[in-house]
Amino acid sequence: MAFRIVKDVKDINRLREILTVLFEEGFDFILEKTKLKHKIPLTKRVKARIEKKKKHTIEKRLRLTLERLGPTFIKFGQLLSVRPDLIPKSYIKELEMLQDKVPAFSYSLVREQIKKELGKEIEDIFSGFDKKPIASASISQVHKAVLKDGSKVAVKVQRPHVKEIMETDIDIMFYVARLLEKHMPNIRKFSPVGVVEEFSKWTEKELDFKREAFNAKRFARNFANSKTVKIPMIYDNFTTERILVMEFIEGVELHNIKQIRKEKIDLMPLINIGFEAILTQVFVHGFFHADPHPGNIIIIKDRKIAFVDFGIVGHFDENLKNKSIDLFYGVIGNEPGKVVDTLVELSRAEIENKYELQDDVGEILDSLQSSDISRIKVSYALEEVMDLALSYGLKMPAPFVLFGKTIITLEGIALEYNPDFSLIESSRPFIEKLMRQRYNPVAVFNSFMKNMLKFRKFADEFPDQASNALKRIERGSIKVNIEDTNIKELSMEIDRSGNRVAYSMLIAALLIVGALTINYGSPALLNLPPIPLFSFIVALILSFVLLFSILREKEIIR
């Protein structure tokens, strides 16, 4: 057993330290289940029993435990705080209080790190460099500086040896997560190992400042023509994996309501700009700022906002875009069925008690309908629905959850500043524009063509797949149970269904062609040019043929 632990965990002393903190904060039941209690020194166990601590809720004890365990675990708690699909809402609220503020490391270490990474002394690169950092966190700290050409910059310096420290802690997290899955079956559905794996990837991205620089430059390209959003410029010549130099942004952080009021800044137009910028990132660019911390959004002069800190980003593909819009409209339109269908599709999971979930979602949505639509608090609806999805074992894609958390955070700030703020009214123009684009003829045609390509790929691959399947059946490696022996009738039904699909696709294509060419040519009949007129007439005839065949088949069945 001792050899096994040494094999799985490199730093046994750090493991004992973590287990001792868990024991002292009242999580000894976990240690008993995972058979790790005996790894805590007897003196520590006795001392913890003698010392009587104040009674706290389990949520608060978890937060205190993570704070005591240090930077890696604080980061882990912050990841969990933006994942309502992984932990209940009560834990989310407590973990949101985690502060990633640690004492700054010395200026001599900063000099050492810069010399090591850039190969030059600070004085050879900067004409001015503030020794005291403007921000200090678990992974890095930021100093204000001035380059030789007079440019004001922010210099992000990674803590010495932080990568090695976090790798050790994550190694221990994996070890404990595997034991949790082995000895606590009821926790297995939350996939502790998978959560640690996600955190490991998250941390790996944050530790690579070159990746952050790449993300920042991509954001800058996406907002190159924006008159309301500013992205700081990256200085590639002074950026490495552990050093990042970017343009210094003067302004007020979005969450600093006190300073905003002191400077008499009209926040509401800027909140609207922030919402539109987030929605644009998600639904237009498909690439968005995934660290929903209001300290990463800065108000600058000339009614602009700036985004900073691009270590963690999210990606939204077309499917996520469409599902998010469906969920949004399902909540607003009081359609629990649509909400549940969207949640199930997003989670890609089977659910037995779907109608029970639908009833529970319906209760949440009904409570919203008593208010005017402009008064609906989207953050409440999203939090409740996500908490409900968790209780039914539905796990949402991480980008979707991060996007939802960003919206919730921004709405909370806006409501703090203006209790009458309505996220729905604020985002309505953008969403309506998005819906018009989603259903315009060009977008429909593009979607149609994508599906045609998928169908063609399926048709190309089907013969080989069918041949392979038949060979496996012949070898006896596949068992097939067929209850309906009327294969001929089944074959005819497949043919009929295929013909209907073909008719439907042809009708859709004719309608799209007609819509796209409606402004081309001189009007011939019904104020329509010849090509769209012909397309619409043929589509109408085919629609009647299709309808007649469906009705005729129903009569035959009767």
Q: Which residue has the higher pLDDT, 346 or 494?
A: 346
- CA-CA distance, 309 to 294, in Å (whole number)? 11
- CA-CA distance, 320 to 282, in Å (whole number)? 9
User: What's the rounded mean pLDDT across residues 141-163?
Assistant: 95
The secondary structure of 437-504 as a DSSP string is HHTSHHHHHHHHHHHHHHHHHHHHHHHHHHHHHHHHHHHT-S--------HHHHHHHHHHHHHHHHHH
The secondary structure of 281-336 as a DSSP string is IIIIISEEE----GGGEEEETTTEEEE---SSEEE--HHHHHHHHHHHHHHHTT-H
- CA-CA distance, 13 to 44, in Å (whole number)? 14
- Do residues 292 and 82 make contact, with C-beta atoms less than 8 angstroms apart? yes
Residue 397 banded pLDDT, cuts 50, 70, 90: confident
Among 291, 309, 387, 460, the one annotated catalytic: 291
Start-to-end Cα distance in the chain: 71
User: What's the rounded mean pLDDT across residues 391-407?
Assistant: 80
- Do residues 361 and 381 make contact, with C-beta atoms less than 8 angstroms apart? no
User: What's the rounded mean pLDDT across residues 129-139?
Assistant: 91
What share of the chain has pLDDT > 90, as a percent?
A: 22
How far does Cα 312 stand from its chain's mean position? 10
Residue 2 banded pLDDT, cuts 50, 70, 90: very low
- Do residues 247 and 232 make contact, with C-beta atoms less than 8 angstroms apart? yes
Nearest 5°: the CA angle 23, 26, 31 is 45
- CA-CA distance, 34 to 29, in Å (whole number)? 9
- CA-CA distance, 158 to 208, in Å (whole number)? 9
Question: CB 27: neighbour CB atoms within 10 A?
Answer: 16
The pLDDT assigned to 371 comes to: 57
The pLDDT assigned to 51 comes to: 55
Q: Which residue has the higher pLDDT, 481 or 269?
A: 269
The pLDDT assigned to 529 comes to: 75
Is 85 an annotated catalytic residue?
no
pLDDT beyond 50 at 3: no
Q: Which residue has the higher pLDDT, 473 or 359?
A: 359
Q: Are strands 297-300 and 252-253 parallel, antiparallel or unpaired?
A: antiparallel
- CA-CA distance, 29 to 50, in Å (whole number)? 18
Question: CB 257: neighbour CB atoms within 10 A?
Answer: 16
What residue type is assigned to position 116 of the chain? K
Question: Which has the minimum average pLDDT: 88-92, 331-335, 459-463?
Answer: 459-463
The pLDDT assigned to 5 comes to: 47
User: What's the rounded mean pLDDT across residues 320-333?
Assistant: 78
**pTM across the whole model:** 0.70
For 233-246, the pLDDT digits (tens) are 999 999 999 999 99
- CA-CA distance, 340 to 318, in Å (whole number)? 19
For 334-373, the pLDDT digits (tens) are 788 888 888 888 887 777 788 888 898 888 887 766 555 5
- CA-CA distance, 268 to 320, in Å (whole number)? 28
